Copies of this chain bind each other. A is one copy, B any other.
Amino acid sequence: MNDQVSKQQPIDPKHLALQKTLDIICGKWRLYIIYQLGTEARRYGELRRMIPAISEKVLIQELKALVSLGVVEKKSYNEVPPRVDYSLTEKGLQVLPTLLKLTAIGELFLEP
* Chain A residues in the interface with B (C-beta under 8 A): 9, 14-22, 24-28, 31-32, 35, 52-53, 69-71, 91, 94-95, 98-99, 101-110
User: Do A91 and B106 contact each other (CB < 8 Å), given the known contacts A9-B53, A26-B26, A31-B18?
Assistant: no
Question: Who on chain B is nearest to A52 by CB?
Answer: B9
Counting from the closest, the 9 A-B pairs by CB-CB distance are A17-B106, A20-B106, A21-B106, A17-B103, A26-B26, A21-B102, A21-B105, A95-B105, A17-B107
Bound Cα distance A52, B11 (Å): 11
A47 to chain B, nearest CB (A): 14
In the bound complex, residues from chain B placing their C-beta under 8 Å from that of A102 are 18, 21, 25, 98
A42 to chain B, nearest CB (A): 16
A-B contact pairs, 12 of them (CB 8 A): A17-B104, A18-B31, A19-B106, A20-B105, A20-B106, A20-B107, A21-B102, A22-B26, A22-B106, A24-B109, A91-B108, A95-B108
A61 to chain B, nearest CB (A): 17
In the bound complex, residues from chain B placing their C-beta under 8 Å from that of A14 are 32, 35, 103
